[in-house]
Structure 1
Amino acid sequence: MFQKLYRLLFMFLWVLIPATKIFVWLVMGKNYKIASDYIPFYYLGAVFQAFCSFYGVGYLRAKNTKGAFSSSIFGAVINAAINIGTIKLLGLHAAAVSTFISFLGMWMIREKQNRSELGITISWKEFWLLLETDLLICIFSILGNIWFNLIFLILGTISFLIVNRKDFITILNTFKKKRDKKQ
């Protein structure tokens, strides 16, 4: 289940990051265009926050709220330290990057602490490849122009649909069965 979750979320960013950038550039006023540069790393932070929530179930199952608390405190401390330490170097990007890195660190702790409790096996090669691809898309989206993001959007959408086609077919079949039952 976790493999499907990380694959879906990581690959959804292949679509969401360039689509958001294009949307902001075309729809929002000039004053808001700079905001589109911070969004990609916040998206990555949100993905790892979802992973943290997923693994938080292990703490509930094991009745180990201390583990949930300590990993959350770790994430908060890392977030503050990176934010303060890099604000002069990265400017407002420091907040977005520190959010991503802190949730990544928090998830890594939760994954290690809950590995035996949840029995989740991760294909690390695939996981890191998808994360690295997301990081590259974040960077190139920030540095690239609208045409570059449009190319990423097209390629990302095609890749997302091809890789996740079985899951989409399953979802569609479920909706069809429910619709047929109602009729």
Structure 2
Amino acid sequence: MSRTEPRALDMALDEALPRWHRRERHRLPVGLPAPAVMRAAAEVTWADVPLFRAVMTGAGLGRTRFPADAPVLGLFLGNGFTVLYRGEDELLVGGIERISRGQPVVPLAPGTTPDAYRAFDAPGHLKLAFNFHCAGGVLSTETRVYATDDRSRRLFGAYWLVIRAGSGFIRRVWLRGVRRRAARTGGDGGPVSRA
């Protein structure tokens, strides 16, 4: 059954995917200005998240390279996901995947709006969205998955049981990498002066 929740915060994620079948949330105090934290979220590299990089390299049996200086978001944006919203306090990324062996990803065009994303409802698909949000000195990330039909929901539910713990670990590592990068840039986008 789909869930909805009262809007505690006005987030683009709520607009793009107000209902979901699976959800995961994590938060971390950052104590830095939201725009600097969102910039770090967009720019965090594999060097900033070495444990995440190791997990992904292991999962791919070493066949996929994750260059240290490449942005982590590039993994998603290069595989059919797109930035649905970017603001001073939130970065929202979304994708659509088919439950099939053929072409599993439905590439989203850059500039796809949260409204257009929400309207997609073709059977046999999963809508996956995740954000980074910074408010009150706290950085959070939330991942939501919505299945467009019952079969897709059941299949993804079984997969979710297998990956959920690892997914949560990766998100916590990712949050810490964003916080480190934001702190390293001094909250203004530039490197911290050591003078």
**TM-score if structure 2 supplies the norm length?**
0.28
Return the structure number with greater relative CO, CA threshold 8 A, min gap 6: 1
Q: Who wins on radius of gyration, i.e. which is larger?
A: 1
**TM-score if structure 1 supplies the norm length?**
0.29
Q: Which structure carries more strand by proportion?
A: 2
Q: Which structure carries more helix by proportion?
A: 1
